[in-house]
Amino acid sequence: MLASSVVAGGLVGLAISFRNLPDVRVLQTYSPTETTHIYDINGRPLASIHDEANRDVVPLEKISPHLKRAVLAIEDSSFFTHKGINPGGIARAFMVNLEKGRTVEGGSTMTMQLVKNLFLSPQSKFSRKVAEAVMSIRLEQILNKDQILQLYLNQIYLGHNLYGVETASQSYFNKSAASLTLAEAAMLAGIISAPEEYSPFANYKLSKERQEIVLARMKELKWITPEEEAAARKQKIKLGKITSFGGSQVPYVTEAVVQELTRRFGRDAVVKGGMRVQTTIDLRLQRVAEDTVKAWHDRLYYRGLFYDYDQGQIALAAVDPRTHFVKAMVGGVDYKKSQFNRAIQSRRQPGSAFKPFVYYAAFATGKYGPDSIVYDTPVGYRDGDGYYYPQNYGGGFSGAVSIRRALEVSLNIPVVKLGQEIGLNKVIEICRILGIRSPMEPVISLPLGAVDLTPLEMAGGFATFANNGWHSDTTFIVQVTDSSGNVLLDNTPKPKLVLDPWAAASVNSALKGVIYSGTATAAQLGRPAAGKTGTTSSERDIWFVGYVPQLSVAVWIGNDDYTPMSYGATGGTIVAPVWRDFMSQALQGVPEEDFKPPSAFERP
């Protein structure tokens, strides 16, 4: 009677404890965490982003039959006949462990392994094993065998931060799980019980021994013939490489993409959500941009432009005016030495490269055109307790000049006068319309670039001029889908006419002269192009922002610590040749196209 009471009490205790077990019904809608993959605009892989688990989830039909049989053979050959637990397997494991005096065989079904990995602690205790059994029986009541097998094959850990058979197949054998041969499938199945120990990357000989055990078990079960076993044993295995910790091909770009994704979806969705991200980046142009920046940095350093190799930096941003897609972006000379992205994070004064925004504002009033006369004569403005007297670079005055000529030779005084006449708040409003978000104040020297902007803002703003006033939001991302192909984000361009077309065409007409006969003759491409140089006081920042109808590119050069570069360094002498070098390569195969003249549009 006492024994019966103890047993009854134990059963009641177990029943009460099982009421507190996790609810396996959540697995009906469970999705394992997945790796996010980032591609260029043509589908070429750029990077993979994941949290702890590097995993690609695939449906059961996209897993090789060889692999499914191999895993079942070595892990749970009775999987399709048991109801979650296998009493015979448990009894056999108990006898083997008793004989060996230690735990050498588990007796767990694949359903029990799945429950343990998803819900329970890894500690090998009797209570946990009982909980596994109870939850496995419950799971088999709500999911069919194929659903459980698919979950298992996508969930299991296979070493080197590889989760699920698809990611492991890509890493170990450089092919999808659907394409595995019998020999490869048996090797992969063989490492499940101790992935770090049996991994072919860690110990190929031991991995080969495990493969042969799996093949022997498959033959024993008559799932393969002796001839198939012999052929698989002899097949030479060609290994891939560990992919979990591979870096990005273009780290400045992928970091920017991840930032944009995180703002929209949150960090967890990016590192665990299995997104497929098509970026706007053209990998060919990106490589051209990186090579151009590196080559010119070295060249300019040895010319003495920079006092320190690592302090001297170059940033480049290239935007397609027709879509406002970012086609290439270089945030610095060497990402390994500095992860600071100067193309989107560094705000530097653009100097005279800012002037086109002021001249557009003047053109948009209808009172001025490229050939209107302005006066380059001395002027002073009250500024706080004193006066501000704008000066031209190099000094002197030119008297009455056309706006076209004032832009070509980058006169300062006329644009300051126009800024005061039009209103600096109007200039700031136009910059906001063009997507420039950096802080701005209506100070008298704003028309001379007394504001801190990023290269991407400059490239995006000029891109709207290039497209005759049509504007879309500048972006790094074309489209985002989940791993099943459902669209999460579609950045198909939706251009809006935000500028007066005649005024924009007038800017283009005037800026063509900067390259043909002004401060940027070193930027000539042998095809129609427009642009503007920028040089700040003491040569701390030098710029060239130029464009053709198909591509707008901003290039900035300076020292990270804001120290001046060598005397006489200007946007026209130093940066324009860098821009020309990049554009000459980027535009290979791109048809020559001219800007529409102002006469093609109605004047406001």
DSSP letters, 18-71, are HTTS--GGGGGS----B-EEEE-TTS-EEEEE-SS-EE----GGGS-HHHHHHH
From 540, 39, 578, select the one nearest 315 (Cα to Cα): 578
Question: In the predicted model, is pLDDT for residue 132 greater than 50?
Answer: yes
- Which residues are CB-neighbours of 38 under 8 A, at least 6 positions away? 45, 46, 47, 48, 49, 248, 254, 257, 277, 279
Of the candidates 34, 48, 64, 75, the residue annotated as catalytic is: 75
12 confidence band (pLDDT: 50, 70, 90): very low
Length of the chain: 604
Cα distance between the two ends of the chain: 104
Supply the pLDDT for residue 248: 82
Question: 247-258 burial by CB neighbour count: b if 16+ within 10 A, else e?
Answer: ebbbbbbbbbbb
Question: In the predicted model, is pLDDT for residue 126 greater than 90?
Answer: no
Question: In the predicted model, is pLDDT for residue 13 greater than 60?
Answer: no
Q: Residue 588 has which token pair?
A: 């290979």
Supply the pLDDT for residue 337: 92
What DSSP line would sit under 300-349, residue for residue?
Answer: HHHTTS-SSTTTEEEEEEEEETTTTEEEEEE-SS-TTT----TTTT--B-
352 is catalytic: yes
415 confidence band (pLDDT: 50, 70, 90): very high
524 confidence band (pLDDT: 50, 70, 90): very high
User: Regarding predicted confidence, which is higher, 246 or 427?
Assistant: 427
DSSP three-state, residue 479? strand
The CATH class for the domain spanning 55-234 reads mainly alpha
Cα distance between residue 473 and residue 495, in whole Å: 8
- Are the C-beta atoms of 372 and 402 separated by less than 8 Å? yes
Q: Residue 268 has which token pair?
A: 């967890």
- Which residues are CB-neighbours of 184 under 8 A, at least 6 positions away? 66, 169, 172, 173, 175, 237
From 422, 411, 421, select the one nearest 364 (Cα to Cα): 422
- Mean pLDDT within 172-176: 94
From 171, 131, 157, 134, select the one nearest 33 (Cα to Cα): 157
Would you tell me how many other CB atoms lie within 10 Å of the CB of residue 334? 14
All CATH 3.40.710.10 domain ranges in the chain, comma separated: 286-600
- Mean pLDDT within 423-435: 97
3-state helix, strand, coil in the chain (%, to 5): 45, 15, 40
Q: What is the CATH number of domain 286-600?
A: 3.40.710.10
pTM over 0.85: no
Of the candidates 48, 199, 207, 352, the residue annotated as catalytic is: 352
Cα distance between residue 577 and residue 570, in whole Å: 11
DSSP three-state, residue 261? helix
- Mean pLDDT within 97-120: 69
E strands, 536-582, are 541-548, 551-559
| Percent of the chain surpassing pLDDT 70 | 90
Per-chain mean pLDDT for the chain: 90
Q: Residue 550 has which token pair?
A: 């198909």
Question: In the predicted model, is pLDDT for residue 8 greater than 50?
Answer: no
Question: In the predicted model, is pLDDT for residue 30 greater than 80?
Answer: no
All CATH 1.10.3810.10 domain ranges in the chain, comma separated: 55-234
34 is catalytic: no
Cα distance between residue 281 and residue 469, in whole Å: 23
Question: In the predicted model, is pLDDT for residue 62 greater than 60?
Answer: yes
- Are the C-beta atoms of 549 and 542 separated by less than 8 Å? no
Q: Which has the minimum average pLDDT: 105-114, 183-192, 497-506?
A: 105-114
Q: What count of Cα atoms within 13 Å lies in the side-chain half-sphere of residue 562?
A: 6
